[in-house]
Amino acid sequence: MNRPIIDMKGIFKRFYIGTPNELEILHGLDISVPEGQFVSIVGASGSGKSTLMNIVGALDRQTEGKYVLDGIDVSKLDDTELSGIRNKKIGFVFQTFNLISRTSALKNVELPMLYAGVPAKERTKRAKELLEIVEMTDRASHMPNELSGGQKQRIAIARAMANDPAIILADEPTGALDSKTGRLVMDLFHKLHKEKGKTIVLITHNPELAEETDRIITLSDGRIISDRMTDKEAAE
Amino acid sequence: MNLIENIKLAFASLKSNKMRALLTMLGIIIGVSSVIMINTLGSIMENSVTDTFDSQGGSNLIGFQITMKKDAARDYLMPDDFISEEMIESVEQRFADDINVVSVMYGSENGTTRHKRETLDLVIYGVSPGYIKQSMTEVIAGRYINDKDIRKGGKVCAISNKQAIKLYGSVKDAIGQTLSIKMYGSMYDFTVVGVYEYRMTGMMSAMVNAMGEDWNNEVYIPYTTLSEMYGETDPTFYYFYVHINDGVDAESFASDVKNYMNNRYYRNNDSIEIFYQTAEAQMSMMSQVLGVVSMVISVIAGISLVVGGIGVMNIMLVSVTERTREIGVRKALGAPNSAIRSQFIIESIIICLIGGLIGIIFGVLLGNLIGIIVGTMASPSVGAILLAVSFSMAIGIFFGYYPANRAAKLDPIEALRYE
Ligand SMILES: Nc1ncnc2c1ncn2[C@@H]1O[C@H](COP(=O)(O)OP(=O)(O)OP(=O)(O)O)[C@@H](O)[C@H]1O
Ligand SMILES: [Mg+2]
pLDDT of A1 strictly over 70? no
Residue B321 pLDDT: 94
Burial class, B254, CB count within 10 angstroms (exposed 0-12 / middle 13-18 / buried 19+): buried
Q: Are A115 and B336 inside 8 Å of each other by CB?
A: yes
Whole-model pTM above 0.90? no
Query: Which ligand number lies closest to the CA of residue A21?
Result: 1
- Nearest-angstrom CA–CA distance, B253 and B88: 15
For helices B382-408 and B279-322, angle between their N-to-C axes, nearest 10 degrees:
30
CA proximity to A60, closest of A36, A37, A26, A32: A26
Among all bound ligands, the one having the nearest atom to the CA of A23 is 1
Q: Which helix or strand (DSSP H or E) is residue B392 part of?
A: helix B382-408
Task: Quote the CA–CA distance of A74 and A65 in Å, as a whole number.
Answer: 11
Q: At residue A206, what is the residue type?
A: N
CA atoms of A210 and A228, how far apart (whole Å): 11
CB–CB contact B12 A79 (8 Å): no
Question: What is the distance between the alpha carbons of residues B359 and B385, in angstroms, rounded to a whole number?
Answer: 10
The pLDDT score that the predictor gives to residue B47 is 66
Q: How much is the ipTM here?
A: 0.95
Evaluate the CA torsion angle B85, B87, B90, B95 in order and state its sign: negative
Distance A6 CA to ligand 1 centre (A): 21
Structural domains of chain A sorted by starting position, each given as residue range(s) with its CATH number in brackets = 35-61+78-235 (3.40.50.300)
Nearest CA in chain B to A110: B333
DSSP A185-230: HHHHHHHHHHHH--EEEEE-S-HHHHHTSSEEEEEETTEEEEEEE-
3-class DSSP string for A86-155: HHHHEEEECCCCCCCCCCCHHHHHHHHHHHCCCCHHHHHHHHHHHHHHCCCHHHCCCCHHHCCHHHHHHH
The answer to whether the CB of B289 falls within 8 A of the CB of B317 is no
Contact B224, B105 (CB under 8 A): no
Name residue B276's amino acid.
Answer: Y
A205/A50 Cα distance (integer angstroms): 12
From residue A20, give the alpha-carbon distance in Å to each of A16, A26, A63.
Answer: 8, 18, 17
Question: In 10 A of CB B294, how many CB atoms?
Answer: 18
Is A163 within 8 Å of B412 when comparing Cβ atoms?
Answer: no
The burial class, CB within 10 Å (0-12 / 13-18 / 19+), for B117 is exposed
Q: Which residue of B has its CA nearest to A102?
A: B12
Output the DSSP codes for B329-390.
HHHHTT--HHHHHHHHHHHHHHHHHHHHHHHHHHHHHHHHHHHHHHT------HHHHHHHHH
- Give the DSSP letter of residue B410: S
pLDDT of residue A127: 97
Q: Say how many C-beta atoms besides its own lie within 10 A of residue B282's C-beta.
A: 16
Interface check for B416 against chain A (CB to CB < 8 A): the answer is yes
Q: Is the pLDDT of residue A78 over 60?
A: yes
Alpha-carbon distance A14 to nearest alpha carbon in chain B (angstroms): 15
CA-closest candidate to residue B417, choices A105, A116, A60: A60
Record: contact A57-B339, CB cut-off 8 A: no
Chain B CA closest to residue A57: B332
Hey, which of A23, A63, A171, A220 would you mutate to test ligand 1's pocket, going by the most ligand atoms within 8 Å of its Cβ? A23
CB A41 within 8 A of CB A54: no
Please identify every stretch of chain B with a pLDDT value under 70, giving residue numbers as ranges.
1, 46-57, 200-215, 374-379
Q: Give the residue, by CA position, lying nearest to ligand 1 atom 19.
A: A46
Range 119-158 of A in CB contact (< 8 A) with B: none
Burial B156-179 (b: 16+ CB within 10 A, else e): bbbbbbbbbebbbeebeebbeeeb
Do the Cβ atoms of B133 and B101 come closer than 8 Å?
Answer: yes
pLDDT in tens, B216-265: 788 999 999 998 888 888 888 988 999 898 888 888 999 999 999 999 99
A35: number of Cβ within 10 Å: 16
Ligand 1 atom with the shortest distance to the CA of A54: 18
**Closest of B370, B293, B404, B361 to residue B28, by C-alpha:** B361
> Quick check: A65 and A26 in contact, CB under 8 A?
no
A143, pLDDT greater than 70: yes
Calculate how far, in angstroms, residue A88's C-alpha sits from the geometric centre of ligand 2. Answer: 23
CA quadruple B382, B388, B394, B396: dihedral, nearest 10: -130
| CA B174/CA B192 separation, integer angstroms | 7
Which of the listed residues A11, A12, A14, A15 should we mutate to test ligand 1's pocket, taking the one with most ligand atoms within 8 A of CB?
A15
A-B interface: how many C-beta pairs under 8 angstroms? 65
Nearest CA to ligand 1 atom 6: A15
* C-beta of residue A112 within 8 angstroms of C-beta of residue A159: yes
User: Would you call B49 helix, strand, or coil by DSSP?
Assistant: helix
Nearest CA in chain A to B328: A98
Residue with the smallest CA separation from ligand 1 atom 3 is A15
Question: Quick check: A203 pLDDT over 90?
Answer: yes
Distances (CA, A) of A115 to A126, B274, B339, B345: 14, 82, 8, 17
Q: How far, in Å, from the CA of A51 to the mean position of ligand 1?
A: 6
- Round to whole Å and give the CA distance between A77 and A75: 6
Strands A64-69 and A90-93: unpaired
Q: Closest Cα of chain A to B385: distance in Å?
A: 34
The residue-averaged pLDDT of A79-93 equals 96
Nearest Cα residue to A52 out of A228, A207, A217: A217
User: What average pLDDT does range A205-233 have in this prediction?
Assistant: 92
For residue A201, report the distance from its CA to the centre of ligand 2, in Å: 13
Sign of dihedral through CA atoms B250, B255, B258, B263? negative
pLDDT tens sequence across B174-213: 999 999 999 888 899 999 999 998 776 555 555 555 555 5
Q: Are strands A167-171 and A90-93 parallel, antiparallel or unpaired?
A: parallel
Calculate the alpha carbon distances from B100 to B139, B257, B310, B406 in Å.
19, 14, 61, 73
A170 alpha carbon – ligand 2 mean position (Å): 10
